[in-house]
Structure 1
Amino acid sequence: MFKLAKGRMSPWVVFGAVIFMVIQVIANLNLPSLTSDIVNNGVVNGDIDYIWKVGMKMIGFSLLTIIAAVCNVFLSSKASMKMGSRLRNDIYSKVINMSNDEYDQIETSSMITRTTNDVIQIQNVYIMMLRMMIMAPIMLIGASFLAYNKDHKLTLIFLVVLPILLLFMGILLVLAVPKFKAMQTKTDRLNRVFREGLTGVRVIRAFRQDQFEQDRFEDANQDFTKNAINVNVIMAFAFPVIQMIMSGTNVAIIWFGSKLIGAQAMQVGNLIAFMTYAAQILMSFMMLSMIFILIPRAQASAKRIQEIFDLQTTLKEETAPIEADNTPGGHQLVFEHVDYRYANAENKALVNVDFAAKSGQTVAIIGGTGSGKSSLVNLIPRFYDAETGSVSLDGSDVKKYVLEDLRSMVSFVPQKAVLFRGTLRDNLKFGKADATDDEIWHALEIAQAKDFVAENPDGLDQIVEQNGDNYSGGQRQRLTIARALVKQAAVYIFDDSFSALDFKTDAVLRQALQADEHMQQSIIVIVAERIATVADADTILVLDEGKVVGKGSHDELKETNEVYQEIISSQIKKGDEA
């Protein structure tokens, strides 16, 4: 937990919070003594002037306490919230720069919980630490010393009271801490089920699994609720029991104190001050105990966050990276004996992949589901790194480029069409912030999206809902293709991004790509399931179980490759034509 705060908390703000807390405690500790003086020297002697004089001191110390407390709360909150803000930024930065291998190790729902709920737990504990954990020991030591000075005989009461209080708080810790720790994993589960229900709502309705999903959510919700209730029930015992212990302590102090007063061994004012110091001592113990109950939950949260930072990236960058060249033409992409295996996977996803392509050429990749098509193209922008062999761009291994530079040379259209909430213009300028409207409309025209965009009165300023839900599947796919085309790149990758298009739109779009001047100077890599989509490619790679079992043109593979022939045969039976 302290490791996470290092470098994210201003030491000067923390120092200021500590100073104001010390001032607050010192002022608080002076009040009982002043009360004692008023009673002993003012009330008993009837000295009104003395009462006013000491009373004004009490008012001054009270004001000082209030001012110091306000400043401490402000600085503690500022330090903790700033730390939380920086921690969230660092987590997000880490996640954004993760390789896919790292990202696959932690569920999305858990990642969200760690970035929000877990950070809040740490923030809250740091606020309490800067308030109570500093206040409690200072007040405990100070109040104990001053109480002993008032009457050392009465302090023997604490030898009985404090062990009872410690025993009770120890039992509370044993019962509450495991349940506090369990809260985070149960929050993860609740978020995961809720998120799956939201993202899969159409599938749930289509298969009439509404009740099943409601029951699943209810189960997770009840599990979380039951644990939360148990924690609160346990903690509900704390304040009444502590109040009872404090009341019992006051009764004991008054009982024995009255005997001392009767024997003229103690003044009334000292008894009043002693009772106040006793309350401060017991409150200090209670504050420390409450912090020790909450710290384990915060430590569990800190451990979960640290797991994100401890993920070892496989995407190492060279100490002296080469510069990327994104000028049109003259580019070359080469795969040499590339093998790839997903993290913790038993079998390789790609085995001994070899091919080369240069500017102006189109490479198409086809094969059955799970044959490694997406795995192959993900190696080009280094979403993953090859296990053996090399992937080189313009004669240099992609590992030698700065990641940012490498990805500036690659424009990628993923399988799932992803749009972000905002305007269409913002979405299309995602890869090129300074793109002009002419460039955007040109990309939309190539992607066969110009017509339906122009039909909207708002044009490029039309609103895109979350995930692009206000567009059809085919429209979203064309818009993501247009977004990729706006970006000027050396390599364009279309990862099964024509699947939602009808055959006519698919054909017209590919013809527009081939006719575009910039695309003629770039390398195009197409992943597809349809023979019709890949037939015009210069080179077609046929993948089967991660291996390249065929390489050549459509006509060559049609005559010589058995796997390609089987794909053609299966699609002809469905009414497709090669």
Structure 2
Amino acid sequence: MIKVFRLMRPKLKFLAILTILLTIVQVLCFLFSPNLFGSIVALFSQIDSGKDIRINILQNVGFTVPTVKAAIMWIAIIFAAIIFVGAFTSLSAAYLANYVGIMHSRNLRNQIWDHIMHFSKREIEKFTHANLITRFTTDIQRVRHSVTNILRTLITGPINMIFGLVLALLINKNLSLILIFLLFPISIILGIIAKKAIPRFRRETKYYEDISLEAQESILGVRVIKSYNLEAQQENKFQEANVGFSDLIKSNYNMLNIGLSLIFLFANLATTALLATIGFINRGKIATKQEYQDIIREINIFISYIFVMIHGVLSSTMISFNIARGIRSSKKLFEILETSPSIKFIESDKKITNGTIKFDNVSFAYYEKNVIENVSFTLKPGETLGIIGPTGSGKSTIANLINHDYETNIGNVYIDGHNIKEIDTVSLNSAITYIYQIPALISGTIKQNLLLAKQEATEEELIAATKAACAYDFINNFSKKFEHELETDAANLSGGQKQRLSIAQGLLKMPKILILDDSTSALDLKTESVVKANLKEYFKAYPLTKIIISQKISSIMDADKIIVMHHGKAEAIGTHNELLKTSQLYKEIVAVQLGGQSE
């Protein structure tokens, strides 16, 4: 948690310190009360004495007044002042603690978001989407609660313990031995609870994550689960995790309740021992009413401080376990922040102006084994490259390297003669549009989705792009046209409609390089051919470098160059007609898909 506080902005650090100071004042106001109550008890014994009446704010710290009326007035004034200051500092500290926790969690969330936005695909795959979402929500929420609890409850607990013990010692050093003996069993109980509970609370967090993941997988895969009649199996799997989670929580809190009950037992035993000790020490010694009043006053004050200490111990213990959850969550957040992006954000004067692509003997491995090996080719502005091959042959990996989602292990990728590792990141992202097989559409209107590519796009540009992608007709059929609302993941569109809308979005950007990664897989052959023809017309004003990745021969057969990938290697490179003569694998694919037709 120290790292969490180090990340605080200066203003929040100042407010955090102010919160701690206000909390200390609040606790001290609370600690004045027992002595003032003692002064009230002493007041009754001095009514008929004719002597000056003493008012103690702390033990042996106070002042005298001549009359009972003056004593009552001063006690009332002091009580009112303590109540006012205590209430003001309590409310102020509570407000500031919540403010610091909320604002720091917001800043922390922004910082983590900015950091993740610089992650490459490698880091995203390492943490997984579900894991990152959990850290954005549950973990940051736990850290927020921990910060608030540290600034408030974790401060009040130790102060109550320390000042309660000190003030009790000032009242009667002999009786304070009872507190020391009380602290001994309490320390043992807390030590046992801490040793057993903290690891169990960590397991509780792990169970929570497992249940969340299980629920997410079941919800996302509900169609598959139903289609294979796996409802009972998934329910049993979820119930197993849920029951384990519930049993662990019950066990944890049963252990805490037993420990807390024992602490209260020892506190009551200490009170009994206190009364017995006072009775034993003073047997036969108390002769006057004044002496009786003094003993009663000391007993009241001393018992008050016993329970002040117990309150400090209990509050510190309970909050410590909540903070243990926050510590685990903070470690997970810092795991993200301390992970350096494998691909750095580059600011340079090397920009993309044309779209020439060159692979120079490129090899790449996600883990140990190469996914692509010794791939070389050159693509000029305005040319189209088709990439085809069996599943897992490395087709999409080539596109990912062009998009700089990964860096090569061997060899280099050049765009416009610049090593891709040295190209300005903003220029690279602006020049390349990558349209995926599964579109990444957000909830909102169709227009909002399209404007992600070009915020200042006009109505005419939206119509032109959607017509080129064969999306305008189905959009025009909606009653609200471009203002039609999309559900999460565009669930109210068909697969083909999603792909066409995603293509239209990419066209609005007017990139130098367009990558279509199986982006027309859900389209029929007729619609696909229309989209291909429209793309040529749409970009006729300037040369567009285009990479088409597909399993379908019809998608890539018109390309200027075609790469046939097999086991991570470029098995052959050429035009459609050239490959029919030189590549056995290509001929087999054509034979299967086109029935042996070569044109």
Query: 2:124 maps to what in 1?
Result: 103
In the alignment, is residue 324 of structure 1 matched against residue 326 of structure 2? no
Counterpart Cα distance in 2 of 1:17 and 1:460: 51
In the alignment, is residue 218 of structure 1 matched against residue 239 of structure 2? yes
The structure-2 alpha-carbon separation of the partners of 1:184 and 1:577, relative to structure 1 and needing over 3 Å to count, comes to farther
The structure-2 alpha-carbon separation of the partners of 1:5 and 1:576, relative to structure 1 and needing over 3 Å to count, comes to farther
Q: Is the 8 A contact 1:333 1:394 kept in 2?
A: yes
Give the deviation of 1:68 after TM superposition: 0.7
Deviations 1:378-405 (A, max 9, x none): 1112111111211111111121123232
Query: 1:132 maps to what in 2?
Result: 153
TM-score normalized by the length of structure 2: 0.91
Counterpart Cα distance in 1 of 2:166 and 2:340: 52
Q: Is the 8 A contact 1:140 1:285 kept in 2?
A: yes
Query: 1:175 maps to what in 2?
Result: 196
1:416 aligned to which of 438, 444, 452 = 438
Instruction: Give, as a single letter, the amino acid of the residue that structure 2 aligns with 1:563.
Output: L
Counterpart Cα distance in 1 of 2:329 and 2:473: 51
Query: 2:327 maps to what in 1?
Result: 299
Query: 2:212 maps to what in 1?
Result: 191
In the alignment, is residue 243 of structure 1 matched against residue 243 of structure 2? no
In the alignment, is residue 64 of structure 1 matched against residue 92 of structure 2? no
Give the deviation of 1:129 after TM superposition: 1.2
Counterpart Cα distance in 2 of 1:453 and 1:447: 11
Query: 1:5 maps to what in 2?
Result: 5
What secondary structure sits across from 1:196 in the alignment?
helix
Give the deviation of 1:488 after TM superposition: 1.7
1:231 aligned to which of 233, 249, 252 = 252
Counterpart Cα distance in 1 of 2:115 and 2:207: 24
What secondary structure sits across from 2:317 in the alignment?
helix
Give the deviation of 1:180 after TM superposition: 0.6
Counterpart Cα distance in 1 of 2:207 and 2:426: 37
Give the deviation of 1:224 after TM superposition: 2.0
Q: Once structures 1 and 2 are overlaid, which stretch shifts more, 515-524 or 412-421?
A: 515-524
Counterpart Cα distance in 1 of 2:209 and 2:521: 34
The structure-2 alpha-carbon separation of the partners of 1:497 and 1:517, relative to structure 1 and needing over 3 Å to count, comes to closer
2:342 aligned to which of 295, 314, 318 = 314
Counterpart Cα distance in 2 of 1:576 and 1:67: 87
1:532 aligned to which of 554, 559, 566 = 554
Give the deviation of 1:512 after TM superposition: 0.9
Q: Once structures 1 and 2 are overlaid, which stretch shifts more, 515-524 or 379-388?
A: 515-524
Instruction: Give, as a single letter, the amino acid of the residue that structure 1 aligns with 2:33.
Output: L
| TM alignment of 1:77-476, pairs within 5 A | 77-259=98-280, 263-264=285-286, 266-318=294-346, 321-325=348-352, 330-342=354-366, 345-476=367-498
Give the deviation of 1:135 after TM superposition: 1.9
Counterpart Cα distance in 2 of 1:222 and 1:538: 60
Deviations 1:338-367 (A, max 9, x none): 11110xx22101111111112211111100
What percentage of residue pairs aligned between the two structures are identical? 26
Mark the runs of 5 or more structure 2 residues left unpaired by the alignment: 49-67
2:42 aligned to which of 26, 40, 43 = 40
Counterpart Cα distance in 2 of 1:486 and 1:27: 66
Counterpart Cα distance in 2 of 1:206 and 1:252: 71
Counterpart Cα distance in 1 of 2:540 and 2:234: 49
The structure-2 alpha-carbon separation of the partners of 1:403 and 1:222, relative to structure 1 and needing over 3 Å to count, comes to farther
Deviations 1:229-258 (A, max 9, x none): 222222222433332222222222233234
Instruction: Give, as a single letter, the amino acid of the residue that structure 2 aligns with 1:157.
Output: I
Give the deviation of 1:7 after TM superposition: 2.6
Give the deviation of 1:96 after TM superposition: 2.5
Give the deviation of 1:430 after TM superposition: 1.1
Counterpart Cα distance in 2 of 1:401 and 1:325: 8
Q: Once structures 1 and 2 are overlaid, which stretch shifts more, 521-530 or 49-58?
A: 49-58
Instruction: Give, as a single letter, the amino acid of the residue that structure 2 aligns with 1:340.
Output: F
Give the deviation of 1:159 after TM superposition: 2.2
Q: Is the 8 A contact 1:140 1:280 kept in 2?
A: yes
TM-score normalized by the length of structure 1: 0.94
Q: Is the 8 A contact 1:109 1:188 kept in 2?
A: no
Query: 1:27 maps to what in 2?
Result: 29
Q: Is the 8 A contact 1:514 1:520 kept in 2?
A: no
Give the deviation of 1:16 after TM superposition: 1.2
Counterpart Cα distance in 2 of 1:205 and 1:87: 40
Give the deviation of 1:520 after TM superposition: 5.0
Q: Is the 8 A contact 2:413 2:419 kept in 1?
A: yes
Q: Is the 8 A contact 1:80 1:127 kept in 2?
A: yes
In the alignment, is residue 487 of structure 1 matched against residue 509 of structure 2? yes
Counterpart Cα distance in 2 of 1:305 and 1:472: 37
Q: Once structures 1 and 2 are overlaid, which stretch shifts more, 130-139 or 415-424?
A: 130-139
Instruction: Give, as a single letter, the amino acid of the residue that structure 2 aligns with 1:458.
Output: K
Instruction: Give, as a single letter, the amino acid of the residue that structure 1 aligns with 2:554.
Output: A
What secondary structure sits across from 1:335 in the alignment?
strand
Q: Is the 8 A contact 1:113 1:187 kept in 2?
A: no
Counterpart Cα distance in 2 of 1:54 and 1:261: 30
Mark the runs of 5 or more structure 1 residues left unpaired by the alignment: none
What secondary structure sits across from 2:402 in the alignment?
coil
What secondary structure sits across from 1:104 in the alignment?
helix
Query: 2:63 maps to what in 1?
Result: none
Q: Is the 8 A contact 2:373 2:569 kept in 1?
A: yes
